[in-house]
């Protein structure tokens, strides 16, 4: 499966959802999660993300490992998102800010 990681937080550009052939994305207040039971590992979403936030689970770095369980859990709680929508007005200011996990809203 592919995993949405820290840099999506407060960026949430949603370019990823427009290309996912199986609608594997779920939307929270300031982050998206991929349901690992739905993702077919096509990798199409990876280059679409302006924040480079999507990583394959087998390549995830130790500091991002918490996002494996977070994607799985949050995808169960949040509604499906299948279409591009406007990013937050301050998305570009948050792109590249490290360690945003404490800002993740549920
Ligand atoms: Fe969807 Fe493919 Fe990305 Fe998985 S890797 S979330 S199937 S676009
Ligand atoms: Fe997040 Fe990147 Fe998608 S910022 S919403 S994973 S395009």
71 C-alpha to center of ligand 2: Å? 13
User: Residue 32 and residue 29: Cα distance in Å, rounded?
Assistant: 8
Phi, psi of 71 (to 5 degrees): -60, -45
User: Residue 64 and residue 47: Cα distance in Å, rounded?
Assistant: 19
CB 10 within 8 A of CB 103: yes
pTM higher than the cut 0.80: yes
CB 17 within 8 A of CB 32: yes
Residuewise pLDDT in 10s, the chain (106 residues): 999 999 999 999 999 999 999 999 999 999 999 999 999 999 999 999 999 999 999 999 999 999 999 999 999 999 999 999 999 999 999 999 999 999 999 9
Q: Which of 29, 28, 33 is nearest to 16 (CA)?
A: 33
Residues with CB under 6 A from ligand 1: 2, 19-20, 22, 24, 34, 39-45
**Which residue of 33, 53, 93 sits with most ligand 2 atoms within 8 Å of its CB, as the best mutation to test the pocket?**
53
CATH of 2-82, one of 3.30.70.20, 3.40.630.10, 3.10.690.10, 1.10.10.10: 3.30.70.20
Residue nearest to atom 4 of ligand 1 (CA): 39
C-beta of 12 in contact with ligand 2 (< 6 A): yes
Identify the pLDDT of residue 66.
98
54 C-alpha to center of ligand 2: Å? 7
Identify the pLDDT of residue 24.
98
| Residue count of the chain | 106
41's tokens = 């590992």
Identify the pLDDT of residue 3.
98
83's tokens = 């279409």
Q: Which of 20, 21, 13 is nearest to 87 (CA)?
A: 13
User: Residue 11 and residue 57: Cα distance in Å, rounded?
Assistant: 21
């Amino acid at each position: 499966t592919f995993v949405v990681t820290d840099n999506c937080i407060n960026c949430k550009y949603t370019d990823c959802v427009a290309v996912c052939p199986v609608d594997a994305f779920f939307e929270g207040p300031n982050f998206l999660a991929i349901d690992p039971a739905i993702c077919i590992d096509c990798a199409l979403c990876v280059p679409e993300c302006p924040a480079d936030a999507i990583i394959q689970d087998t390549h995830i770095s130790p500091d991002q490992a918490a996002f494996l369980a977070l994607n799985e859990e949050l995808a169960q709680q949040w509604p499906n998102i299948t279409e591009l929508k406007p990013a937050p007005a301050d998305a570009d200011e948050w792109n590249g800010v490290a360690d945003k996990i404490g800002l993740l809203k549920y």
